[in-house]
Copies of this chain bind each other. A is one copy, B any other.
Amino acid sequence: MRETGREIDQLRSIDIQTNFTKHAEGSVLITVGDTKVICNASVEDRVPPFMRGSGKGWITAEYAMLPRATETRNIRESSKGKVSGRTMEIQRLIGRSLRAVVDLEAIGERTIWVDCDVIQADGGTRTASITGAFVAVVHALGKLLKEEKIKSLPITDYLAAISVGVLPDGTEILDLEYSEDAQAHVDMNVVMTGKGEFVELQGTGEEATFTNTQLTKMLALADKGLKEIFEMQAEAINPYQENIEQS
C-alpha cells in the first residue's frame, strides 16, 4: 500500500465525460483522481504551409494550465509572452502520440487541433491529456464520418498514456499523483496503442538513475494500467468502437 492508500499497481479513479463544451467537434473532460483536463478537438479545413498540396492531413496539439490549476498560482504564459519549455515538450508529445494512430492520408488536407487545458492539476496532466485527447479526436473524426466528408474512421488503434515511477524506497508504482511525483527518483511516461506497442517512452531520473530491471518492472505496471484505460476509452468513444479494429 502507498501513502495515498492505493495499491502499487492501482490506477486512480478515471472519468471521461464527452460532449463537454458545445462548439468543439470533439470535447472531453477527463478526470484522473484530482487531475481534470478539458480536451477539445477542432477540425480546420486546411493544413499548415509545409504540408499544402501533399493530400495529407495534420494533427497538432496545444497544452496549457489555468493559472490556478496548481497549489500556488502560476503566471499565465500569455502574460509572460512566451510558452515555457515544459509546455512545448508536452504539446509536441501529445501531437506526435496522436499522429501514430491516425491515418493522416485518410483525413485529407485537414488539420485536427487538439487543445488540452488543465483546469485542476494533481500529477499526470500530460498522460491524462493524451488519454482524453484520443477520445476527443475520435469524436471529431466521427463527426466528419457522419457528415460523409471521410469514408471510414481513420483511426488505426486505441491510444492512451500513463505514468510509472520509482519511489525513494525503490518501489515501482503506477499512476503517480502529485505528492508521489514530487518525491519520486524516476518518472516515466508510457504512451501505448491498444495492441500493446509503444508510441513514446520517456523515462527520466531526477538527479538519479534507474536500472534495466527497474525499467522492466515499470513497463509491466504501465501495461496493466493501460489495459484498464483502453476499456474506459472504448465506452467513451461509443458509437465508434466498432470502427477501430481491436487488437
Contact = CB atoms under 8 A, between A and B. Distances in A.
B198 A113 contact: no
Interface stretch (A10-18, A91-99, A233-241): A91-99
Contact of A69 (B21, B66, B87, B196): B21
Contacts of A209: 100, 193, 195, 197-199
A127 interface: no
Nearest to A66: B117
A215 B198 contact: yes
23 contacts: A27-B68, A38-B119, A42-B73, A67-B115, A76-B78, A78-B78, A82-B82, A85-B85, A88-B88, A88-B89, A89-B89, A100-B205, A195-B209, A196-B211, A197-B209, A198-B209, A198-B212, A198-B215, A199-B205, A200-B204, A200-B205, A201-B201, A212-B219
